[in-house]
A and B are shown apart, each in its own frame.
Chain A
Amino acid sequence: MAKKNRMSNEINAGSMADIAFLLLIFFLVTTTMDIDTGISRKLPEKQDPNITPPILKEKNVFEVLVNRRNEILVEGENFMQIEDLREATIKFIDNGGGKDENGEECTWCGGARDPESSDHPKKAVISLQSDRGTSYGTYIAVQNELVAAYSDLRNIYANNKFGENFDDLSDEEQKVIKKDIYPQIISEAEPTK
């Protein structure tokens, strides 16, 4: 009796390593380490066709057109290289030449306060229009630069006010900046055929 018990007490663990190796190799082969990253956007809700959209002053709209040859036309007059787009966008948003809808001036704007350009970051709208034949790479590059313009401005503001980068601020502070200081207003028009 005693002998039998002692026998079953010992399981041979010698092949444990082999089994573990087998599993390890299986997981090594099937694993994919890529992390999904990308530019997140929220699509606008479907519009009621009976409602006419509010009319914006032309000076508050920054028009970016991308044609099917992947050329960028800004404000309907000059072709622009992608490298210059960010700076031009920042200049437009941060202009602060007038008042917002509550009659308050933009006290934090560092722009030229040109009365011919945007009134207030809250009123500044970026309108992006592309062609159906535009390549997706260009489209993403333009989107990226526009988003980058906003994040640059938010970063500058966060550094001046809190002495920290935007990403290091608390959620509350980030929310305030996103909503009341530099709200991201990018409107996408239907592409031309």
Chain B
Amino acid sequence: MSKFKKKKKGMPGISTASLPDIVFMLLFFFMVTTVMRETELKIKTPKLPQADQIQKLERKSLVSYIYVGKSKDGTAGDKIQLNDRVSNISDIKSFIFSERATHAEDEIPYLTTSIKADMEANVGTITDIKQELRDINALKINYSTRNGSALDNMK
């Protein structure tokens, strides 16, 4: 009898001693992979087109973003967002200059401008942006796309 009783009592609790270790491991993983979102979108989140000939953008610190999309209140036309406010085409130059000022001189040729534009945006807007970028010699650009079949863009 006493043998059975002993067995029931001896049901061991799960040791939680290694719990902090596990949690810390997860914590470090997320700390390393995390990228803080530095800008809040003031325009409607652009629906990026798809493409399959894509390259990864390396060194995110060298990338400045230009968002193109529709405004949230539904007014017509493409809106451009630089940093955290809706801007005009003519603001792009000063935006790039201010981006350059935050980098060392030898990094400037590697600065890339990523254009995150909505699928429904007009090519005219994109051309205007490119023209502004050419004017100030910011020649490296990247059309931001999702990975997928480019043929789906036409539907």
Contact = CB atoms under 8 A, between A and B. Distances in A.
Contacts of B36: 30
Interface stretch (B2-10, B56-64, B89-97): B56-64
Interface in A93-152: 130-141, 143-145, 147-148, 151
A145 B50 CA distance: 12
A42 interface: yes
Contacts, number: 164
Contacts of B133: 43
Which bucket holds chain A's interface residue count?
Answer: 35 or more
Interface stretch (A4-12, A21-29, A49-57, A168-176): A21-29
B35 A141 contact: no
B140 A135 contact: no
Contacts of A77: none
B126 interface: yes
A130 B57 CA distance: 26
Interface residues of chain B: helix, strand, loop or mixed (majority): mixed
Given A21-B23, A151-B53, A132 B122 contact: yes
Interface residues of B, number: 56
A138 B150 CA distance: 9
B20 A139 contact: no
B33 A33 contact: yes
28 contacts: A13-B20, A20-B23, A20-B27, A30-B36, A30-B37, A31-B33, A31-B34, A32-B34, A33-B33, A36-B60, A37-B146, A38-B142, A39-B55, A39-B142, A43-B133, A43-B134, A82-B154, A132-B123, A133-B124, A135-B119, A136-B117, A137-B119, A141-B49, A141-B151, A141-B153, A143-B51, A148-B52, A190-B127
Across the A-B interface, give the 5 residue pairs with the lowest CB-CB distance, nearest first: A132-B124, A137-B153, A137-B119, A27-B30, A144-B150
